[in-house]
């Protein structure tokens, strides 16, 4: 327990010694983190995503989609006569890790372009770095309009919140002739908050009434309190913009409580798990999505078959589709650019027009958002059936 | 009125789950004075084990009540063993060290189970097979009681009664009470403290596993991080009831479940997750020993 | 004048950060520079938590919560209040705003809980971190789930390291002053300390509030370095990360905390290639560390007291 405190020494000397120690560590940083320089005979594309942490399920799905696209590209002989390599970095579902990951990809791996992130929060954190370094970034699924406002190097392959939210509101009011809605939002999820906002605005504009607004948090499994409250307000439909991880359970518990009005949702509902977890409870739900299996487009069928084969029979969800499409869009842009220089890929990406992706025919608009038509699906006896298609 | 009744049913079924987890916290805290952070993750492992057992034993395709009982008990056994293993490897070597060391180790074990779980089970949520078909037992106006809610409440009550019997009427229960009263004295009285602590972990973890399996049945979505928040909230429930006090943990758990539900229903569902901690701070301010705890003066 | 003379060396050190920062920005690539800045921020967090956990012997698990308060208050400040001020004025303003807000939060949490046994503090601070997150998520003015962006890049290498030096210096001097003995006394034996006439609650609260203040400053620097903040950065896991730094460095050792902050920050970057095994390794490391060397690398000693040749080093 002897505890010699260095009162004798002047404290400043000690502090100085301390800072010296700190400075000694700095070179270690430079040594420890060794970068691997990309070989010239391959094109390196970076991907960052949440492979671990709270939203790991979306990151891993996207990653599977990207890898599938990569293998197809390389099987066709790569790009510009070179093999393509994808370097993937995990950001643990944290924004600051996303910044580190992107900086590492750009500075250490010398990637020519970056694909990521699913969550708008991580895309927003990382986008300025890509912009500053003039490396094009293509987000597969960040729906917050602000993401692409970070600069002219930032693109996305998915819908933005306003389009999806207002489409569902218009469909519910005009096609389903409903007037009273309840909204159940995931407050921890910007995607959900965004969709809810635009649904609310559009629905009110169309003369409908929002009778109840309740919320939950990502990862919750108990929704009966909120659903019981919603039930007493007797809405004609409940808008649940969220991911299938919670929505299917919400549907179940709603039916258990005798809340039998139709549920409405966004592309987060698109997963085989929705019907697996929800069972009969999700029947009668309407949700907006990128594509419908019944469209019989060859891309869709080929993608789903290959995905199942590669991933032990798993059926792809929206994230996997968008990961695949992002990689394909990027490959297409690099081919058209004929070069791996950032500005040229950027120009080619911006000029993307009528690109036949699995999630629809994509055209990049002036705000660098993907324009594609939205389809409304209805869940009918466990199957997603096509209802209508809305052009952007 | 109907709504209030319905919310009470929702809250009680949810609170029964908290109560089962809280019992494990209270038991471990009683004997070791340790907040076993890994307890919530044992609950997760319990749900996962039940999921895999149901698939391996074929009950997922041929659901039956017997199947659920088998799955539930085997999952409890496996997690009991896991609890004993955690104690043996991570906590026992630290028993005579400052309590903070054990607390930090507990956080380490908790993280290991969470991230190991993401690696082993995969991060995507799993659908828990419906071993018992959910249907409503009775409907009175707008009030619905499902058979699963009733089952959860009954199984929880049954396990609590069994626990009470073990603690009050058996020799090992006597030993547990003696050890939680005084570590040194009971060891001087010839009680094998190591055995008692192991038994505590086995029982506590088995109860958590039961909670996990029942949550799987009632809210059929399980994933590796599902134990984080319920774990912490169950600890708050244990503090609310008076930590170290068994009936207190049960009451604390039920109060927690009902309060959360009522707050979500009548106040604001956005603040539901914060309620637990507000309760904690209020309890600490007003009655630090909890509802049923004895106010003890710290002896010098 | 006397004050200036006594503080000449640290003041010079603080001032030296600006030329050093400029030099680094010219020579080192931005990826490395970012890691270096993270080290500074983490060192500040670790040293301030060390005052609470290591030196005063309390157990706080809410450092990420205080960091969040500092980050959001300072960000709101720079977006709505000091918007357009020159950086030389805006920077101190936001740092002070962030720090004071976090200190206030520390006072509110500390007052009821610090009178009680240690474990309760752990769980209350953990709960506080969650409450803060819930409140932020439900406050549309600071972005809610969409996060808050658009802050000017006020912090850089120089401001982060200048603050780190001031933080270390303040805590170092406090601990090594006669007053500092009271903190250690609370850690060693609270009852004995109280018997000696030390107002233990007051010292605990002082340490807690001061620790929270610096966590808030670190949060403010973090927010203005990244330029975008989201509640996912301030989870329980972040608090645990800081606790691990303190434990690894040695509870009560200020230099240990700094070294551990640097080592762990570099390690998490260097282990990137392990992807999903990274956190598993991290947790195993924590357990093994507690089992084999619970005192941390330096124990309660400082690096200046480290005897490389002696067998009785830190314990």
Mean pLDDT score of chain B: 88
Confidence of residue A3 (pLDDT cuts 50, 70, 90): very low
Q: Are strands A180-186 and A209-216 parallel, antiparallel or unpaired?
A: parallel
Q: Alpha-carbon distance B257 to B280, whole Å?
A: 14
- Closest to B233 (Cα-Cα) out of B241, B223, B245: B241
User: Considering only CB atoms, which chain B residues are within 8 Å of A257?
Assistant: 6, 144
Is there a contact between C233 and A96 (Cβ–Cβ < 8 Å)?
Answer: yes
Question: Using 50, 70 and 90 to split pLDDT, how confident is the model at C106?
Answer: very high
Percent of chain C predicted with pLDDT > 90: 30
Query: What subunits touch chain A, counting only 3 or more CB pairs under 8 A?
Result: B, C
Spatial contact of C298 and C314, defined as CB atoms under 8 Å apart? yes
Burial of residue B68 (CB within 10 Å: 0-12, 13-18, 19+) is buried
Q: Which of B110, B85, B24, B274 lies closest to C243, judged by CA? A: B110
CATH class held by domain A42-159+298-372: alpha beta
Reported residue count of chain B is: 300
- Please say if the pLDDT value at position B205 is more than 90: yes
Please enumerate residues of A whose Cβ is less than 8 A from a Cβ of B: 52, 54, 56-57, 60-61, 187, 214-217, 219, 221-222, 224-226, 228-229, 231-232, 245-246, 248-249, 252-253, 256-258, 273, 276-277, 279
What's chain C's Rg over C-alpha atoms? Answer: 19
Does residue A117 have a cis peptide bond before it, meaning omega lies within 30 degrees of 0? yes
Contact state of B115 with C279 under an 8 Å Cβ cutoff: yes
Provide, as residue numbers in chain A, all residues whose Cβ is less than 8 Å from the Cβ of C230. 95, 121, 124-125
Residue of C nearest to B33 (CA): C119
Q: What is the DSSP string of A286-300?
A: EEEES--GGG--HHH
Q: What total number of domains does chain C contain?
A: 1
**pLDDT tier, B31 (very low <50, low <70, confident <90, very high otherwise):** confident
Q: Closest approach of chain A CAs to the CA of C38, in angstroms? A: 10
- CA of A18, closest CA in chain C: separation in Å? 6
Do B72 and B156 touch, CB atoms closer than 8 A? Answer: no
pLDDT tens digit sequence for A242-269: 888 889 899 989 988 888 899 999 888 8
Q: Which residues of C touch B (CB under 8 A)?
A: 53, 57, 59, 109, 112-113, 116-120, 122-124, 126-128, 130-131, 134-135, 137-138, 191, 195, 236-237, 240, 243-244, 247, 251, 276-277, 279-280, 282-284, 286-287, 290-291, 294
Closest CA in chain B for residue C283: B108
Q: Which CATH class is domain A161-289?
A: alpha beta
Please report whether residue B110 resides in a domain: yes
**Per-residue pLDDT for A83 more than 80?**
yes
* Chain A residues with beta carbon closer than 8 angstroms to that of B261: 224-225
**pLDDT range class, residue B74, cuts 50, 70, 90:** very high
pLDDT per position as a tens digit, B83-101 = 999 999 999 998 888 777 8
B270 in any annotated domain: no
* Per-residue pLDDT at A38 exceeds 60: no
Cα–Cα distance measured from residue B5 to residue B11, given in angstroms and rounded to the nearest whole number? 10
Long-range contacts of C234-237 (CB under 8 A, 24+ apart): C234/C64, C234/C65, C234/C67, C234/C68, C234/C71, C234/C129, C234/C132, C234/C133, C235/A54, C235/A94, C235/C64, C235/C129, C235/C133, C236/B228, C236/C61, C236/C64, C236/C126, C236/C129, C236/C130, C237/B111, C237/C64
pLDDT of residue A87: 92
What confidence score (pLDDT) does residue C64 get?
94
- Spatial CB neighbours of A312, under 8 Å, sequence gap ≥ 6: none
Domains contained in chain B, number: 1
Examine residue C299 and state whether it is found in any structural domain, yes or no: no
pLDDT per position as a tens digit, B122-178 = 888 888 888 888 777 777 777 888 888 888 899 999 998 999 899 899 999 999 889
Q: What is the pTM of this model?
A: 0.87
Parse chain A into domains and list their residue ranges: 42-159+298-372, 161-289
Q: What's the alpha-carbon Rg for chain A, to the nearest Å? A: 24
Q: What is residue C314's predicted lDDT score, i.e. its pLDDT?
A: 41
Percent above pLDDT 70 for chain C = 95
Expressed in angstroms, the distance from the first to the final Cα of chain A is 73
Q: Nearest by CB to B269, which of A225, A246, A273?
A: A225
pLDDT of residue C149: 86
Q: What is the mean pLDDT of residues C246-250?
A: 86
When pLDDT is cut at 50, 70 and 90, the band that residue B295 belongs to is low
As a whole number of angstroms, the longest Cα–Cα distance in chain A is 84
B233-249 average pLDDT score? 88
CB contact under 8 A, C130 and B273: yes
| Residues A90, A101 contacting (CB under 8 angstroms) | yes
Residue B72 lies in a domain: yes
Chain centre distance of CA B188: 31
Q: In terms of Cα–Cα distance, which of C247, C262, C256, C242 is closest to C295?
A: C247
> Does C306 map to a domain?
no
Q: Which residues pair with B144 in a beta bridge?
A: B139
Q: Cβ of A17 and C43 within 8 Å?
A: no
Alpha helix (H) residue ranges in A133-243? 161-170, 190-205, 224-232
Q: With a cut of 70, say whether residue A13 has pLDDT above it.
A: no
CA B287 to chain centre: 23
| Surface-to-core class of residue A387, CB atoms within 10 Å of its CB (0-12 exposed, 13-18 middle, 19+ buried) | middle
Residue A308 has pLDDT above 50, yes or no: yes
Tell me the percentage of chain B whose pLDDT exceeds 90: 40
Instruction: Tell me which residue has tokens 């993307």.
Output: A352
For residue C307, name the pLDDT band (cuts at 50, 70, 90). Answer: low
- Distance of CA B23 to CAs A349, B28, B206, Å? 58, 9, 10
Predicted ipTM beyond 0.90: no
Q: How far apart are CA A237 and CA A231, in angstroms?
A: 10
Mean pLDDT of chain A, nearest integer: 84
User: In Å, what is the CA distance from A384 to each residue of A270, A377, B108, C41, C123?
Assistant: 9, 6, 44, 50, 46
What residue of C is the nearest CA neighbor of A106?
C31
Residue C254 lies in a domain: no
CA distance B229 to chain C (A): 10
User: pLDDT digits over C157-205, tens only?
Assistant: 999 999 999 999 999 989 888 888 888 888 888 888 888 888 888 888 9
- The pLDDT of residue A327 is 94
CA distance B233 to chain C (A): 9
Average pLDDT over residues A191-196: 91
Cβ atoms of A185 and A231 closer than 8 Å: no
Which residue range forms the structural domain that includes residue C71?
2-236
Q: Which of A8, A2, B94, B101 is nearest to C312 (CA)?
A: A2
What gap in Å lies between CA B232 and CA B237, rounded to an integer? 9
> CB distance from C3 to chain A under 8 Å?
no
pLDDT given at position C1: 66
Instruction: Tell how far CA B108 is from the center of its chain.
Output: 19
Domain of B54 in residue numbering reads as 2-226
Position A36 scores a pLDDT of 45
Instruction: Tell me if B231 is assigned to some domain.
Output: no
Nearest to C59 by CA among B220, B107, A228, B135: B107
Within an 8 Å CB–CB cutoff, is residue B276 touching chain C? yes
Quote the tokens at residue C198. Answer: 């030390």
């Amino acid at each position: 327990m002897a505890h010699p405190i260095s009162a004798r020494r002047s404290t400043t000397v000690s502090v100085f010694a301390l800072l010296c120690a700190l400075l000694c560590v700095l070179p270690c940083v430079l040594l420890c983190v060794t970068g691997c320089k990309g070989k010239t005979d391959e094109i390196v594309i970076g991907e960052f995503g949440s492979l671990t942490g709270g939203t790991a399920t979306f990151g891993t799905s996207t990653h599977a989609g990207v890898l599938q696209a990569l293998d197809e590209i390389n099987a066709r002989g790569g790009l510009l006569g070179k093999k393509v390599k994808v370097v993937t970095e995990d950001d643990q579902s944290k924004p600051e890790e996303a910044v580190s990951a992107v900086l590492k990809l750009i500075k250490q791996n010398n990637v020519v372009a970056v694909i990521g992130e699913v969550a708008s929060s991580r895309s927003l954190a990382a986008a300025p770095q890509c912009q500053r370094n003039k490396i094009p970034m293509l987000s597969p699924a960040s729906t917050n309009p602000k993401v692409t406002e970070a600069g002219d190097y930032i693109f996305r392959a998915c819908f933005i919140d306003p389009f999806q939210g207002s489409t569902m509101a218009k469909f519910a009011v005009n096609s389903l002739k409903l007037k009273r809605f309840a909204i159940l939002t995931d407050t921890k999820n910007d995607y959900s908050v965004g969709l809810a906002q635009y649904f609310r605005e559009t629905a009110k504009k169309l003369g409908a009434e929002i009778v109840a607004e309740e919320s939950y948090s990502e990862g919750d499994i108990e929704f009966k309190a909120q659903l019981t409250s919603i039930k007493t307000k007797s809405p004609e439909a409940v808008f649940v913009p969220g991911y299938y991880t919670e929505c299917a359970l919400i549907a179940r518990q709603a039916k258990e409580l005798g809340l039998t009005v139709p549920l409405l949702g966004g592309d987060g509902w698109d997963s085989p798990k929705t019907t697996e977890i929800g069972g009969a409870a999700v029947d009668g739900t309407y949700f907006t999505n990128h594509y419908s299996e019944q469209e019989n487009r060859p891309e869709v069928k080929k993608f789903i078959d290959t995905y199942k084969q590669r991933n032990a029979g798993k059926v792809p969800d929206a994230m996997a589709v968008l990961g695949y499409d992002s990689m394909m869009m990027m490959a297409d842009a690099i081919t058209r650019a004929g070069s791996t220089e950032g500005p040229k890929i950027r120009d080619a990406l911006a000029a993307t027009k009528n690109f036949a992706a699995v999630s629809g025919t994509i055209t990049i608009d002036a705000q660098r958002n993907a324009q594609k038509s939205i389809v409304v699906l209805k869940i009918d006896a466990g199957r997603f059936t096509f209802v209508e298609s809305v052009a952007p | 009125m109907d709504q209030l009744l319905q919310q009470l049913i929702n809250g009680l079924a949810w609170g029964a789950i908290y109560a089962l987890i809280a019992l494990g916290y209270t038991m471990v805290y009683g004997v070791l004075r340790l907040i076993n952070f890994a307890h919530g993750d044992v609950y997760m492992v319990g749900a996962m084990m039940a999921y895999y057992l149901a698939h391996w034993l074929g009950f997922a395709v041929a659901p039956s009540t017997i199947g659920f009982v088998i799955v539930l008990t085997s999952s409890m056994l496996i997690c009991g063993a896991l609890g004993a293993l955690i104690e043996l490897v991570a906590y026992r070597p630290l028993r005579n060290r400052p309590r903070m060391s054990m607390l930090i180790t507990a956080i380490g074990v908790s993280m290991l189970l969470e991230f190991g779980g993401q690696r082993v089970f995969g991060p995507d949520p799993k659908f828990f097979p419906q071993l018992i078909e959910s249907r409503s037992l009775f409907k009175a106006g707008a009030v619905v009681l499902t058979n699963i809610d009733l089952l959860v409440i009954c199984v929880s009550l049954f396990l609590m009664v069994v626990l009470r019997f073990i603690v009050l009427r058996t020799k090992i229960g006597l030993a547990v009470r003696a050890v939680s009263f005084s570590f040194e004295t009971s060891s001087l009285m010839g009680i094998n403290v190591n055995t008692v602590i192991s038994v505590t972990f086995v029982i506590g973890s088995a109860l958590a596993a039961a909670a996990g399996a029942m949550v799987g049945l009632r809210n059929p979505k399980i994933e590796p991080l599902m134990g984080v928040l319920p774990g912490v909230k169950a600890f708050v429930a244990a503090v609310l009831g008076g930590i170290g006090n068994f009936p207190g943990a049960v009451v604390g758990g039920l109060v927690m479940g009902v309060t959360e539900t009522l707050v979500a229903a009548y106040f604001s569902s956005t603040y539901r997750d914060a309620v637990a901690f507000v309760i904690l701070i209020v309890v600490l301010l007003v009655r630090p020993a909890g509802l049923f705890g004895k106010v003890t003066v710290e002896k010098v | 004048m006397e004050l200036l003379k006594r503080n000449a060396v640290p003041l010079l050190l603080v001032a030296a950060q600006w030329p050093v920062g400029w030099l680094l920005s010219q020579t080192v690539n931005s990826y490395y520079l970012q890691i270096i800045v993270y080290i500074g921020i983490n060192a500040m967090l670790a040293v301030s938590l060390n005052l609470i956990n290591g030196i005063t012997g309390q157990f706080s698990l809410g450092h990420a919560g205080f960091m969040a308060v500092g980050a959001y208050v300072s960000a709101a400040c720079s977006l709505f209040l000091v918007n357009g001020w020159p950086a030389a004025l805006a920077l101190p303003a936001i740092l002070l705003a962030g720090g004071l807000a976090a200190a206030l939060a520390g006072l509110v949490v500390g007052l009821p809980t610090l009178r009680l046994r240690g474990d309760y503090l752990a769980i209350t601070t953990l709960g506080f971190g969650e409450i803060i997150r819930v409140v932020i998520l439900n406050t549309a003015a600071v972005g809610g789930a969409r996060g808050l962006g658009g802050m000017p890049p006020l912090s850089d290498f120089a401001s982060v390291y200048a603050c780190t030096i001031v933080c270390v210096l303040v805590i170092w001097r406090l601990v090594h002053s006669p007053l500092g003995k009271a903190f250690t006394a609370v850690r060693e034996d609270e009852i004995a300390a109280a018997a000696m006439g030390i107002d233990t609650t007051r010292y605990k609260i002082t340490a807690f509030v001061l620790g929270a203040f610096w966590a808030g400053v670190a949060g403010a620097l973090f927010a203005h370095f990244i330029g975008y903040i989201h509640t996912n950065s301030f989870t329980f896991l972040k608090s645990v990360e800081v606790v691990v730094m303190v434990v690894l460095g040695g509870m009560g050792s200020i230099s240990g905390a700094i070294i551990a902050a640097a080592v762990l920050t570099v390690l998490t970057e260097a282990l990137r290639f392990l992807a999903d095994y990274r956190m598993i390794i991290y947790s195993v490391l924590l357990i093994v560390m507690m089992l084999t060397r619970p005192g941390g690398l330096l124990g309660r000693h400082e690096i200046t007291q480290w005897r490389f040749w002696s067998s009785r080093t830190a314990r």
